[in-house]
């Protein structure tokens, strides 16, 4: 399919332990049009524990996926796993500008970061303020190892893509939910993103990200072979336990609304019923392709697995 030349497309690149997933989206004034998608399997061991262990193998799979996608753009966005970052909030004088804040973070880096400042990639943004705190500003600071960022940037460039953004995983996921799931007027939301080797749980309250945790997923890599209802119910019990543990570790009550996506058991109905039987109340299947223009019928079945990729392709400066 084709998009108008006045609309700039972007490729979302999601790299998991088993696959590389690409989706091309073009954002217009009021619509987002899907240009295509491609999914390519990775060899065992290429990605372990969310880290690229075999960059050449990942680059090869990415090249093959790009050949299938045949995108109209080379602009791409990729994400650092939330579990690989540290996030903190600082209260600083209101008169500090961006340069002052950056200088402050570097000067007092030993107070905020566990590794040397020179080894970190750091970003920050200002949080919403009320009038009662006019003398101060709240800053959210995100840091991760520079090597994690540079590895992803190098990977994209090696396959002739232009890296326009290295995003945070939870920001991409929130974007993929089209803002509906995390609407400030509807309270909190839990998103469970199932990977072959882990269960990622993300929590938002009143539209703001609160926390994310990764938990092991025993037997997740045998999901294709184990497609019966007993396996689906077993996985549902695992997810219920992971969500409860995430709430405990984050020291917060769990929201009622739960979205699930990623590599789901084949017996999806039994899986969803098992989640609700386990105490999760409002459970919905994540569908990041809902509302997009140009979605072919054969693409819809991939939707639950395209949360991160689609959210990345929706990135804008």
Assigned domain for 100 exists = yes
List the beta bridge partners of residue 205.
208
pLDDT of residue 2: 32
Q: Are residues 279 and 225 in the same domain?
A: yes
pLDDT of residue 218: 83
Q: Are residues 220 and 281 in the same domain?
A: yes
Assigned domain for 297 exists = no
Domain count, the chain: 2
Assigned domain for 228 exists = yes
Q: Are residues 190 and 272 in the same domain?
A: yes
Q: Are residues 136 and 214 in the same domain?
A: no
Assigned domain for 72 exists = no
Concatenate the DSSP letters of all residues of 37-77 into one string: EEEEEPPTTSEETTEES-HHHHHHHHHHHHHHH--S--EEE
Assigned domain for 28 exists = no
pLDDT of residue 291: 86
Assigned domain for 31 exists = no
Assigned domain for 136 exists = yes
Q: Are residues 144 and 212 in the same domain?
A: no
CATH of the domain at 200: 3.30.420.40
Q: Are residues 139 and 190 in the same domain?
A: no
pLDDT of residue 135: 83
Which token pair is 276? 């609700």
CA gap 183, 185 in Å, rounded? 5
pLDDT of residue 31: 87
pLDDT of residue 128: 73
Domain ranges, residue 269: 183-286
* pLDDT one-digit tens code per residue, 283-294: 999 999 988 999
Q: Are residues 140 and 207 in the same domain?
A: no
Instruction: Give the residues of the chain that fall short of pLDDT 70.
Output: 1-7, 129-133, 178-186, 219-227
Cα–Cα distances in Å, from 277 out to 198, 199, 200, 218, 236? Answer: 22, 19, 20, 21, 9
pLDDT of residue 269: 92
- In 146-277, beta strands by DSSP E: 162-168, 189-194, 198-205, 208-216, 257-262
Edge-to-edge strand list for the sheet holding 282-285: 208-216, 198-205, 189-194, 257-262, 282-285
CATH of the domain at 122: 3.30.1490.300
Count Cα neighbours of 221 within 13 Å in the Cβ-side half-sphere. 13
Assigned domain for 8 exists = no
Task: Single out the residue of 217, 206, 211 nearest to residue 191, CA to CA.
Answer: 211
* pLDDT one-digit tens code per residue, 1-18: 233 344 589 999 999 999
pLDDT of residue 94: 87
């Amino acid at each position: 399919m084709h998009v108008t030349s006045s609309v700039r497309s972007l490729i979302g690149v999601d790299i998991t332990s088993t696959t590389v997933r690409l989706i091309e989206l073009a954002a217009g004034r009021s619509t987002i049009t899907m240009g295509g998608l491609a999914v390519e399997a990775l060899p065992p061991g290429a990605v372990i524990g969310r880290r690229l262990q075999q960059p050449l193998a990942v680059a090869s799979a990415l090249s093959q996926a790009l050949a299938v996608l045949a995108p109209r753009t080379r602009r791409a966005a990729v994400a650092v796993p939330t579990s690989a970052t540290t996030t903190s909030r600082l209260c600083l004088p209101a008169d500090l500008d961006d340069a002052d804040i950056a200088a402050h973070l570097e000067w007092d880096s030993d107070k905020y970061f566990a590794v040397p400042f020179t080894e970190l990639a750091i970003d920050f943004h200002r949080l919403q303020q009320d009038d009662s705190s006019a003398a101060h500003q709240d800053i959210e600071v995100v840091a991760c190892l520079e090597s994690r960022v540079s590895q992803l940037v190098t990977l994209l460039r090696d396959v002739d893509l232009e890296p326009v953004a290295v995003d945070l995983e939870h920001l991409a996921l929130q974007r993929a939910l089209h803002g509906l799931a995390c609407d400030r007027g509807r309270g909190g939301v839990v998103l469970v993103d199932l990977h072959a080797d882990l269960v990622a749980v993300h929590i938002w309250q009143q539209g703001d990200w609160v926390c994310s945790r990764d938990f092991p997923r025993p037997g997740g890599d045998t999901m294709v072979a184990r497609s019966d209802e007993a396996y689906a119910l077993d996985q549902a019990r695992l997810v219920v336990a992971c969500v409860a543990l995430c709430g405990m570790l984050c020291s917060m009550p769990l929201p009622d609304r739960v979205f699930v996506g990623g590599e789901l058991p084949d017996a999806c109905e039994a899986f969803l019923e098992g989640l609700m039987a386990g105490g999760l109340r409002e459970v919905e299947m994540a569908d990041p392709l809902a509302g997009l223009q140009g979605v072919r019928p054969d693409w819809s079945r991939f939707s639950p697995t395209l949360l991160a990729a689609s959210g990345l392709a929706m990135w804008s400066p």
